[in-house]
Amino acid sequence: QQQVKQSPQSLIVQKGGISIINCAYENTAFDYFPWYQQFPGKGPALLIAIRPDVSEKKEGRFTISFNKSAKQFSLHIMDSQPGDSATYFCAASTITGNQFYFGTGTSLTVIP
């Protein structure tokens, strides 16, 4: 079964708008929650990551919000730009760092 559930599958946002992608998990042993960005023909690259001791992490226009009690985390892209058009994956891993689980991905299109 899918360890990390991601939604929506696709998202279209106007330039300057806010893009929001959500993920949910069940395994309370997860303690590392990264987001990866993938452009066509490339491998995924780390965008931003959070650990459960904080509820929010911001890097530039990208923010992760983390709700430990609800077992949900989300990526917010402020002032979305056409260059942000890519596929975004959430992921989770445990403190022992063994297996790594990815969501199914969100294809983001930012229209000018």
Partner 1 sequence: EAQVTQNPRYLITVTGKKLTVTCSQNMNHEYMSWYRQDPGLGLRQIYYSMNVEVTDKGDVPEGYKVSRKEKRNFPLILESPSPNQTSLYFCASSLFGNTEAFFGQGTRLTVV
Please report, as ranges, the residues that interact with partner 1 according to CB under 8 A.
6, 9, 31-32, 34, 36, 41-46, 49, 89, 91, 93-105
Q: Are 51 and 32 in contact (CB under 8 A)?
A: yes
Residue 18 vs 29, nearer CB to partner 1: 29
Rounded to whole angstroms, the Cα distance separating 73 from 3 reads 13
Shortest Cβ distance from residue 100 to partner 1 (Å)? 6
Shortest Cβ distance from residue 16 to partner 1 (Å)? 28
Shortest Cβ distance from residue 14 to partner 1 (Å)? 26
Residue 66 vs 89, nearer CB to partner 1: 89
Residue 98 vs 112, nearer CB to partner 1: 98
Residue 81 vs 99, nearer CB to partner 1: 99
Q: Is 33 helix (H, G, I), strand (E, B) or coil?
A: strand
Burial class (CB in 10 A: 0-12, 13-18, 19+), 45: exposed
Structure tokens of 4?
Answer: 């990390």
Structure tokens of 104?
Answer: 């199914």
